[in-house]
Amino acid sequence: MAQAQPLRVSFINPGSAQESFWGDIDKLMLVAAAELNIELEILHANRDHFRMIALAQELAAREQLPRYVILVNEKNVAAKMLAAFEGLPFKTLLLLNDIEPKARHSLLQEPYWQQHLLPPLIPDNERIGFLTAQALLMQMGNRRQGKVLLISGDKGTPASIERTQGALNGFRQAGIEPLQLVYGHWQEQRARAQTQVLLNRYPGLEGIWTANDHMAFGAIAALEDKGLRPGEDIFIASINTSSKVLDWRSQGHISVLGGGHLLAGAEALRRIRDDSEARPWNEKVPPMFRLLVPGTEPFNLLEQRNWRALLAWYQQTSEVTH
């Protein structure tokens, strides 16, 4: 019996294939696509939100269209990307960062979008922000004075806003009001420069929460510039799963690490395959984020970059929990 034609899916990746997070998203999606008989096209915007819009417009103008398109609302430009798709026969899924609830509600008043806009797939950024903040306080110990600060990503990306709000809630629930919140725009050098200033401003600083690994690396470089030891003098919490951040978590330079959202793209493909076969959509999003602890199975699989085994582990555990 001949195998069915593969399902054609296009993914507009806001990052680049060389970035640890976005490159790993690609790799996991390609493993999942092979298992699901999906022909996956990945288009990279290389962190340029104007390029994201242009890629959407170029895709919409093609003669041969995919059956499904996956977008990320990075820098809040997805509404302009969706505008290019209106009236076209494919379905669209928002991954990792959704459009604002009001905008989604408004679109879903229209018959076209009722048929062509799938529910979003968004990991619980607020929860991982909360968990990493509380774990950071645990690392700091009972003698802490609660001198912590936050280095967030940016003010426009929903994941950044939610992660940061979760961290603020985690600190405040413990009776800690952070000294300051700054925006490192996900960049190592910017976070390094900011941390250098903040270390002078806040003597006795005990903890730094960062929204991603690159900003954690910058903060650690600033500590080392001043002869301070990360994980001893000042504790660092972060979120991501690059090889470097896992290594630094193992070594203790980073005291708290959250991650797992790199599985979201593979989970989106699994749901798209179900939708293409008219299976009911599961509104419940399996937990992807978790605190990553050296020596545990997910940590080991991430360290090994064993994408096939990681995907199998995730599918098995998500079936157990749901």
Query: Domain locations in the chain?
Result: 7-123+262-290, 125-259
**Residues 204, 147 contacting (CB under 8 angstroms):** yes
Q: Which two tokens stand for residue 171?
A: 């600190």
Beta strands 181-183 and 148-152: pairing type? parallel
Tens digits of residue pLDDT in 148-167: 999 999 998 889 999 999 99
The maximal CA–CA distance of the chain, rounded, in angstroms, is 71
Give domain 7-123+262-290's CATH superfamily. Answer: Response regulator (3.40.50.2300)
Do the domains at 7-123+262-290 and 125-259 have one common CATH topology? Answer: yes
Distant-in-sequence, close-in-space partners of 179: CB < 8 Å, separation ≥ 6: 147, 148, 149, 198, 202, 205
Q: What is the pTM of this model?
A: 0.90
Tens digits of residue pLDDT in 265-297: 999 999 999 999 999 998 888 889 999 999 999
Q: Which two tokens stand for residue 198?
A: 């903040």
Tens digits of residue pLDDT in 20-74: 899 999 999 999 999 999 999 999 999 999 999 999 999 999 999 999 999 999 9
* Per CATH, domain 125-259 is 3.30.70.141: no
3-state secondary structure of 127: helix
245-254 long-range Cβ contacts below 8 angstroms, 24+ apart: 245/213, 245/216, 245/217, 246/292, 246/299, 246/302, 246/303, 247/303, 248/216, 248/217, 248/220, 249/292, 249/294, 249/299, 250/294, 250/303, 253/220, 254/216, 254/220, 254/230
